[in-house]
Structure 1
Protein backbone atom coordinates (compact mmCIF):
# COMPACT_ATOMS: atom_id res chain seq x y z
CA UNK A 1 0.00 0.00 0.00
CA UNK A 2 2.93 2.34 0.49
CA UNK A 3 3.58 2.06 -3.25
CA UNK A 4 -0.07 2.92 -3.92
CA UNK A 5 0.16 6.10 -1.84
CA UNK A 6 3.42 7.08 -3.51
CA UNK A 7 1.78 6.38 -6.88
CA UNK A 8 -1.26 8.55 -6.14
CA UNK A 9 0.88 11.42 -4.94
CA UNK A 10 3.25 10.95 -7.89
CA UNK A 11 0.33 11.46 -10.29
CA UNK A 12 -0.50 14.74 -8.53
CA UNK A 13 3.15 15.80 -8.71
CA UNK A 14 3.41 14.81 -12.38
CA UNK A 15 0.32 16.81 -13.39
CA UNK A 16 1.69 19.80 -11.50
CA UNK A 17 5.10 19.40 -13.09
CA UNK A 18 3.72 19.06 -16.62
CA UNK A 19 1.50 22.12 -16.26
CA UNK A 20 4.32 24.17 -14.75
CA UNK A 21 7.00 23.74 -17.41
CA UNK A 22 7.28 27.52 -17.74
CA UNK A 23 7.11 28.03 -13.96
CA UNK A 24 10.71 29.17 -13.34
CA UNK A 25 10.48 31.85 -16.04
CA UNK A 26 7.00 32.97 -15.00
CA UNK A 27 7.88 32.97 -11.30
CA UNK A 28 10.88 35.25 -11.84
CA UNK A 29 8.73 37.70 -13.84
CA UNK A 30 6.50 38.35 -10.84
CA UNK A 31 7.27 41.00 -8.28
CA UNK A 32 7.83 38.77 -5.25
CA UNK A 33 7.80 39.53 -1.54
CA UNK A 34 11.15 39.62 0.24
CA UNK A 35 10.38 36.29 1.93
CA UNK A 36 9.74 34.41 -1.34
CA UNK A 37 11.99 31.41 -1.96
CA UNK A 38 14.12 31.18 -5.08
CA UNK A 39 12.66 29.29 -8.02
CA UNK A 40 15.38 26.64 -7.60
CA UNK A 41 14.21 25.87 -4.07
CA UNK A 42 10.56 25.27 -4.94
CA UNK A 43 11.06 21.94 -6.72
CA UNK A 44 12.98 20.23 -3.91
CA UNK A 45 10.60 21.57 -1.23
CA UNK A 46 7.55 20.34 -3.14
CA UNK A 47 9.24 16.96 -3.63
CA UNK A 48 9.77 16.57 0.12
CA UNK A 49 6.21 17.77 0.74
CA UNK A 50 4.83 15.13 -1.61
CA UNK A 51 6.88 12.41 0.11
CA UNK A 52 5.50 13.53 3.48
CA UNK A 53 1.96 13.54 2.04
CA UNK A 54 2.30 9.96 0.77
CA UNK A 55 3.78 8.75 4.06
CA UNK A 56 0.94 10.40 6.00
CA UNK A 57 -1.70 8.65 3.91
CA UNK A 58 0.06 5.32 4.30
CA UNK A 59 0.49 5.77 8.06
CA UNK A 60 -3.22 6.50 8.38
CA UNK A 61 -4.12 3.49 6.22
CA UNK A 62 -2.08 1.25 8.53
CA UNK A 63 -4.47 2.15 11.36
CA UNK A 64 -7.53 0.95 9.39
CA UNK A 65 -8.38 4.61 8.94
CA UNK A 66 -11.93 5.82 8.60
CA UNK A 67 -13.50 6.44 5.21
CA UNK A 68 -14.09 10.10 6.08
CA UNK A 69 -10.35 10.64 6.62
CA UNK A 70 -9.55 9.08 3.26
CA UNK A 71 -12.28 11.12 1.56
CA UNK A 72 -10.77 14.37 2.84
CA UNK A 73 -7.28 13.14 1.94
CA UNK A 74 -8.53 12.48 -1.60
CA UNK A 75 -10.18 15.90 -1.87
CA UNK A 76 -6.86 17.40 -0.77
CA UNK A 77 -5.03 15.47 -3.48
CA UNK A 78 -7.51 16.72 -6.09
CA UNK A 79 -7.19 20.34 -4.95
CA UNK A 80 -3.40 20.02 -4.96
CA UNK A 81 -3.57 18.57 -8.47
CA UNK A 82 -5.60 21.57 -9.68
CA UNK A 83 -3.39 24.34 -8.30
CA UNK A 84 -0.47 24.28 -10.78
CA UNK A 85 -2.71 24.03 -13.88
CA UNK A 86 -4.75 26.98 -12.60
CA UNK A 87 -1.75 29.12 -11.64
CA UNK A 88 0.73 28.33 -14.41
CA UNK A 89 -1.07 26.75 -17.38
CA UNK A 90 -4.36 28.61 -16.86
CA UNK A 91 -2.73 31.87 -15.87
CA UNK A 92 -5.27 32.51 -13.13
CA UNK A 93 -3.49 33.39 -9.92
CA UNK A 94 -6.82 34.29 -8.30
CA UNK A 95 -8.53 30.97 -9.05
CA UNK A 96 -5.36 29.21 -7.93
CA UNK A 97 -5.52 31.18 -4.69
CA UNK A 98 -9.12 30.09 -4.07
CA UNK A 99 -7.99 26.53 -4.71
CA UNK A 100 -5.07 26.96 -2.28
CA UNK A 101 -7.33 28.27 0.49
CA UNK A 102 -9.70 25.33 -0.01
CA UNK A 103 -6.72 22.97 0.01
CA UNK A 104 -5.51 24.48 3.29
CA UNK A 105 -8.95 23.99 4.82
CA UNK A 106 -9.32 20.38 3.70
CA UNK A 107 -5.82 19.44 4.79
CA UNK A 108 -6.42 20.96 8.21
CA UNK A 109 -9.66 18.98 8.55
CA UNK A 110 -7.76 15.87 7.45
CA UNK A 111 -5.13 16.50 10.13
CA UNK A 112 -7.90 16.45 12.71
CA UNK A 113 -9.34 13.18 11.44
CA UNK A 114 -5.95 11.53 11.10
CA UNK A 115 -5.05 12.58 14.65
CA UNK A 116 -7.85 10.41 16.06
CA UNK A 117 -6.17 7.29 14.66
CA UNK A 118 -2.51 8.15 14.12
CA UNK A 119 -0.63 11.01 15.68
CA UNK A 120 2.30 10.26 13.38
CA UNK A 121 0.15 10.60 10.27
CA UNK A 122 -1.34 13.83 11.65
CA UNK A 123 2.11 15.28 12.39
CA UNK A 124 3.29 14.45 8.88
CA UNK A 125 0.23 16.18 7.45
CA UNK A 126 0.78 19.12 9.78
CA UNK A 127 4.25 19.63 8.27
CA UNK A 128 2.69 19.52 4.79
CA UNK A 129 -0.01 21.95 5.98
CA UNK A 130 2.66 24.38 7.15
CA UNK A 131 4.22 24.45 3.70
CA UNK A 132 0.79 24.84 2.09
CA UNK A 133 0.02 27.87 4.27
CA UNK A 134 3.33 29.43 3.26
CA UNK A 135 2.59 28.70 -0.42
CA UNK A 136 -0.90 30.18 -0.06
CA UNK A 137 0.54 33.33 1.50
CA UNK A 138 2.97 33.54 -1.42
CA UNK A 139 0.07 33.18 -3.87
CA UNK A 140 -1.78 36.02 -2.08
CA UNK A 141 1.37 38.19 -2.13
CA UNK A 142 1.85 37.61 -5.86
CA UNK A 143 -1.73 38.76 -6.48
CA UNK A 144 -1.24 41.83 -4.27
CA UNK A 145 2.11 42.83 -5.76
CA UNK A 146 1.32 42.22 -9.43
CA UNK A 147 -1.39 43.20 -11.84
CA UNK A 148 -2.61 39.64 -12.37
CA UNK A 149 -5.95 37.95 -12.71
Structure 2
Protein backbone atom coordinates (compact mmCIF):
# COMPACT_ATOMS: atom_id res chain seq x y z
CA UNK A 1 0.00 0.00 0.00
CA UNK A 2 1.51 3.37 -0.96
CA UNK A 3 2.27 5.84 1.81
CA UNK A 4 0.13 8.93 1.90
CA UNK A 5 1.84 12.26 1.69
CA UNK A 6 1.70 14.25 4.89
CA UNK A 7 -1.29 16.50 4.99
CA UNK A 8 -0.53 20.16 5.17
CA UNK A 9 -1.38 21.87 8.40
CA UNK A 10 -4.54 23.93 8.44
CA UNK A 11 -2.39 26.82 9.65
CA UNK A 12 -0.53 28.47 6.77
CA UNK A 13 3.24 28.72 6.81
CA UNK A 14 4.65 32.07 7.95
CA UNK A 15 5.86 34.45 5.27
CA UNK A 16 9.61 34.90 5.54
CA UNK A 17 10.64 38.46 6.34
CA UNK A 18 14.24 38.87 7.43
CA UNK A 19 15.52 41.43 9.93
CA UNK A 20 17.16 43.41 7.11
CA UNK A 21 14.17 43.23 4.75
CA UNK A 22 12.08 46.35 4.14
CA UNK A 23 9.30 46.44 6.72
CA UNK A 24 5.97 45.25 5.28
CA UNK A 25 4.13 48.20 6.90
CA UNK A 26 5.70 50.62 4.42
CA UNK A 27 6.90 53.14 7.02
CA UNK A 28 10.47 52.81 5.77
CA UNK A 29 13.42 51.14 7.34
CA UNK A 30 14.11 47.51 7.97
CA UNK A 31 11.75 45.04 9.56
CA UNK A 32 14.04 44.73 12.62
CA UNK A 33 14.16 48.50 13.18
CA UNK A 34 10.46 49.01 12.48
CA UNK A 35 7.76 46.44 13.34
CA UNK A 36 10.13 43.60 14.23
CA UNK A 37 11.09 45.31 17.50
CA UNK A 38 7.42 45.28 18.55
CA UNK A 39 6.83 41.70 17.39
CA UNK A 40 9.80 40.50 19.44
CA UNK A 41 8.42 42.15 22.58
CA UNK A 42 11.52 44.33 23.06
CA UNK A 43 9.38 47.46 22.71
CA UNK A 44 5.72 48.43 22.61
CA UNK A 45 4.19 50.61 19.92
CA UNK A 46 4.20 54.24 21.12
CA UNK A 47 1.14 55.32 19.11
CA UNK A 48 -2.05 53.83 17.73
CA UNK A 49 -0.69 54.23 14.19
CA UNK A 50 2.53 52.40 15.07
CA UNK A 51 0.44 49.58 16.56
CA UNK A 52 -1.75 49.48 13.43
CA UNK A 53 1.34 49.23 11.22
CA UNK A 54 2.85 46.51 13.41
CA UNK A 55 -0.39 44.54 13.38
CA UNK A 56 -0.52 44.74 9.58
CA UNK A 57 3.05 43.41 9.48
CA UNK A 58 2.05 40.67 11.93
CA UNK A 59 -0.65 39.58 9.49
CA UNK A 60 1.97 39.55 6.72
CA UNK A 61 4.33 37.31 8.71
CA UNK A 62 1.45 35.45 10.40
CA UNK A 63 2.53 36.27 13.95
CA UNK A 64 -0.53 35.08 15.87
CA UNK A 65 0.95 35.55 19.36
CA UNK A 66 1.64 39.23 18.65
CA UNK A 67 -1.82 39.82 17.19
CA UNK A 68 -3.48 38.25 20.23
CA UNK A 69 -1.19 40.07 22.67
CA UNK A 70 -2.10 43.43 21.10
CA UNK A 71 -5.86 42.79 20.97
CA UNK A 72 -8.08 44.28 23.70
CA UNK A 73 -9.06 41.55 26.17
CA UNK A 74 -12.78 42.35 25.79
CA UNK A 75 -12.78 41.75 22.02
CA UNK A 76 -9.87 39.31 21.56
CA UNK A 77 -10.74 36.07 19.73
CA UNK A 78 -9.37 32.71 20.85
CA UNK A 79 -7.23 32.46 17.72
CA UNK A 80 -6.46 34.20 14.45
CA UNK A 81 -7.62 32.53 11.25
CA UNK A 82 -5.03 33.20 8.55
CA UNK A 83 -6.30 32.50 5.05
CA UNK A 84 -3.49 30.59 3.28
CA UNK A 85 -4.57 32.06 -0.07
CA UNK A 86 -4.19 35.68 1.05
CA UNK A 87 -0.97 37.58 0.38
CA UNK A 88 -0.81 41.09 1.82
CA UNK A 89 0.56 43.58 -0.71
CA UNK A 90 0.70 46.99 0.97
CA UNK A 91 -0.66 49.34 3.60
CA UNK A 92 -1.83 52.92 3.24
CA UNK A 93 -2.73 54.98 6.29
CA UNK A 94 -5.60 57.27 5.25
CA UNK A 95 -5.93 59.14 8.55
CA UNK A 96 -5.60 59.10 12.31
CA UNK A 97 -7.51 60.66 15.18
CA UNK A 98 -5.79 61.03 18.55
CA UNK A 99 -3.75 57.92 19.42
CA UNK A 100 -0.54 59.72 20.39
CA UNK A 101 1.55 59.44 23.53
CA UNK A 102 -0.82 61.91 25.20
CA UNK A 103 -4.10 60.08 24.43
CA UNK A 104 -5.79 56.97 25.80
CA UNK A 105 -7.87 56.25 22.68
CA UNK A 106 -7.41 56.72 18.97
CA UNK A 107 -8.52 55.65 15.52
CA UNK A 108 -6.58 54.74 12.42
CA UNK A 109 -8.22 54.60 9.00
CA UNK A 110 -6.32 52.45 6.52
CA UNK A 111 -6.43 50.55 3.26
CA UNK A 112 -4.64 47.19 3.20
CA UNK A 113 -4.11 45.70 -0.24
CA UNK A 114 -3.91 41.97 -0.86
CA UNK A 115 -4.23 39.26 -3.46
CA UNK A 116 -6.37 36.22 -2.88
CA UNK A 117 -6.29 33.40 -5.37
CA UNK A 118 -4.44 35.70 -7.76
CA UNK A 119 -7.17 38.37 -7.61
CA UNK A 120 -6.37 41.80 -6.13
CA UNK A 121 -8.47 43.22 -3.33
CA UNK A 122 -8.40 45.72 -0.50
CA UNK A 123 -9.61 46.07 3.05
CA UNK A 124 -10.67 49.60 4.05
CA UNK A 125 -11.23 49.95 7.79
CA UNK A 126 -11.39 52.47 10.60
CA UNK A 127 -9.84 50.75 13.61
CA UNK A 128 -10.31 51.76 17.23
CA UNK A 129 -7.45 51.55 19.71
CA UNK A 130 -7.10 52.16 23.42
CA UNK A 131 -4.40 52.01 26.03
CA UNK A 132 -4.56 49.13 28.49
CA UNK A 133 -1.99 49.22 31.29
CA UNK A 134 -0.06 51.84 29.32
CA UNK A 135 0.12 49.85 26.05
CA UNK A 136 -1.90 50.40 22.88
CA UNK A 137 -4.27 47.59 21.90
CA UNK A 138 -6.66 47.06 19.00
CA UNK A 139 -10.32 47.17 20.07
CA UNK A 140 -12.33 46.71 16.88
CA UNK A 141 -12.89 48.14 13.43
CA UNK A 142 -15.56 49.30 11.05
CA UNK A 143 -15.29 48.36 7.37
CA UNK A 144 -15.62 51.35 5.09
Range of TM-score over shorter length: under 0.3
Larger helix fraction of residues: 1
Larger Rg: 2
Give the structure-2-normalised TM-score.
0.28
Give the structure-1-normalised TM-score.
0.27
**Highest RCO, 1 vs 2 (Cα 8 Å, sep ≥ 6):** 1
Larger strand fraction of residues: 2
